[in-house]
Structure 1
Amino acid sequence: MQTIFTRGPSLNNRLTLALVLSVGLILVDHKLNGFDAARVYLNSFMSPLQYVANLPSTMLNWSAERVTSQQQLISENEYLSEQMLLMSEQLQRFQMLKTENQRLRALLDAPIRENIRKKVAQLMAVDNNPFSHQVVINRGASDDVYVSQPVLDESGIVGQVMEVGSTTSRVLLLTDVTHALPVRSGRNGIQFIVVGSGALDELYVEHVAHSVDIQVGDMLFSSGLGNVFPEGYPVAQVSSVTRDESRPFAVIIATPMAKLDRLKHLMLLWSDKEAVGDE
């Protein structure tokens, strides 16, 4: 009777044979370098597997570096944005001083103050009412914000604070139909009143007689009258002048200098009587 499985060499014989073959292969490889070609092929075969094994670690390191770099960029961008606003506020005042010096005339009764207190605020919300131009900022009574406080961006006057909460405030934009602002021409010093038109890119210069010297391109600056806005900050540039003798006044349209459709960071200014300390 034949068994299905024939008996092979014993385990000891197999172990001895394996040891002999191993020692022989080691000697052949050491003395004759017989497996150099095979080793090259094996290394080439294993290289992709090594890359795959290292891929999770590489991806994790790359993701960590990218997140860190992005956070640094965000922090630097916020810092630079605030610094730009602080510097632009000074440039706006210097622009007015340059205009005044070129025309060799004295400043008006409300001169520009060099050490005016200011603080950066950030836009939080925009009023969704199409007939009301208002925004909400992240500064309130805890930051000494007060009603009628002037608000600027890096280009010019934005509006004034109309409501103050503990940590937030509501700002009325100068393009709102209920807003009016006394200004004067940077070219000849004539005083005007600009009012909101209800459109973010238009202001009306009201009650201007046909004989008044006002031209397209004239820069309009805050006059300081009314004790709300300090004197000398850019408000608008005249974009259209229509003199129709059938009407009692000329139709004057101006474009706000502030970028009201792209507000993000804003500047709050303190008057002398409201300031509680310089920053």
Structure 2
Amino acid sequence: MNPIFKHGPSPQYRIILVLLLSASLMFFDHQMASFETARGYLQSLVSPLQYMANAPKQMMNWASRNIVTRQQLMAQNEHYRENELFFHEQAMQLSIVTLENERLRSLLSSPVRAGIDKMFAEILSVDSDPYSHQVVINRGANDGVYEGQPVLDEKGIVGQILHVGASSSRVILISDITHAVPVRIQRNGLRLIASGSGQIDRLIHNFVPHSADIKKGDLLVTSGLGGKYPEGYPVARVVLVRTDESREFAIIYSKPVAQIDRLRYLLLLSNTPSKEQTTTPRVDGASAVKKDSTVAGKS
């Protein structure tokens, strides 16, 4: 007589099958990047939920910005007027310094670096995994974002685009343990590699010989090698230099200049030269040569 209920595979066979299938999927994704397209579609599907989760915060921010007293508005307006005068004075100085640097570079037969397209973005969410330093921003393929695009804040380099969706993207931060960026010491041009340590306030520099000329407080900027990051953008500042002769290499730590734990608005740089041409007023030769020694140090 046939049984009424047919029994399928035992639980042991099922878990073995699931483990084999999971291992196969991880192998193909790691070795051949087979699921990059699917990951992009999934990122696009998840982005509406991220927008919805971020909506209460946006409403509270809007309320806090708009529900203020008349005295607060008057104080803010006065503060903005003072800042406007200060920024105008800085802009005039920057115009003169930029023109002087261009002339000095032409004298040294050095090409002037072309402008770079820039795009603003806002953070939608932060990865909750303590071993993965990543954030999600509100820009995607529809805005021209691409994988590997450099990202920075108002102080320096933050990271680069890791995955791109239609309307949102994932950014890997320079503090992530899987990230590294080529840098150089601004003081003497010595090249290093800044690797993430898994801590937001520390970068590691491996394989630095004891004889290297590096000091605490040195500013590290992007070297331009590798083609990911444009040259000359601040990355970190050296906070520890330890030369232990019992070790093969020196111990070097630095702290990112970007405020990794306070990010909100980001700036995306494009490898396409900017189409906008900036104009600066012309000055005579005497004023251009007036600060040669100072500008030469900056350029």
Distance 1:256 1:247, change over 3 A: same
Matches within 5 A, 1:96-245: 113-245=113-245
SS in 1 for 2:261: helix
What displacement does 1:191 show? 0.4
Whole-Å Cα distance in 2 between the matches of residues 245 and 271 of structure 1?
43
Aligned partner letter, 1:166? A
Whole-Å Cα distance in 2 between the matches of residues 126 and 240 of structure 1?
29
What is the RMSD of the two structures over their aligned residues, measured on CA atoms?
A: 3.4
1:249 counterpart = 2:249: yes
Query: 1:9-60 CA deviation, whole Å, 9 max, x = no partner?
Result: xxxxxxxxxxxxxxxxxxxxxxxxxxxxxxxxxxxxxxxxxxxxxxxxxxxx
Whole-Å Cα distance in 1 between the matches of residues 202 and 140 of structure 2?
29
Whole-Å Cα distance in 2 between the matches of residues 111 and 250 of structure 1?
36
Aligned partner letter, 1:161? I
Aligned to 1:261: 261
8 A Cα contact 1:112 1:230, kept in partner: no
Whole-Å Cα distance in 2 between the matches of residues 112 and 131 of structure 1?
41
Aligned to 2:27: none
Aligned to 1:47: none
Q: How much identity, in percent, do the aligned residues show?
A: 51
Whole-Å Cα distance in 2 between the matches of residues 192 and 112 of structure 1?
24
Aligned partner letter, 1:266? L
- TM-score, normalization by structure 1: 0.60
Query: 1:223-263 CA deviation, whole Å, 9 max, x = no partner?
Result: 00000000000000000001011111100000000000000
Distance 1:173 1:211, change over 3 A: same
- TM-score, normalization by structure 2: 0.57
What displacement does 1:113 show? 3.3
Whole-Å Cα distance in 2 between the matches of residues 115 and 105 of structure 1?
15
SS in 1 for 2:176: coil
What displacement does 1:276 show? 8.5
Distance 1:256 1:111, change over 3 A: farther
Distance 1:111 1:129, change over 3 A: farther
Whole-Å Cα distance in 2 between the matches of residues 68 and 277 of structure 1?
40
Give every structure 1 segment of 4 or more consecutive aligned residues whose post-TM-superposition deviation is greater than 6 Å: none
Whole-Å Cα distance in 1 between the matches of residues 188 and 179 of structure 2?
24
How many corresponding residue pairs? 189
Distance 1:230 1:111, change over 3 A: farther
Whole-Å Cα distance in 1 between the matches of residues 112 and 216 of structure 2?
26
Q: Which runs of 5+ in 2 are unaligned?
A: 1-65, 278-299
Whole-Å Cα distance in 1 between the matches of residues 124 and 151 of structure 2?
15
Aligned to 1:22: none
Aligned partner letter, 1:228? K
8 A Cα contact 2:177 2:198, kept in partner: yes
What displacement does 1:105 show? 9.8
SS in 2 for 1:271: strand
Larger Rg: 1
8 A Cα contact 1:112 1:232, kept in partner: no
Distance 1:115 1:105, change over 3 A: closer
SS in 2 for 1:142: helix
Aligned partner letter, 2:136? V
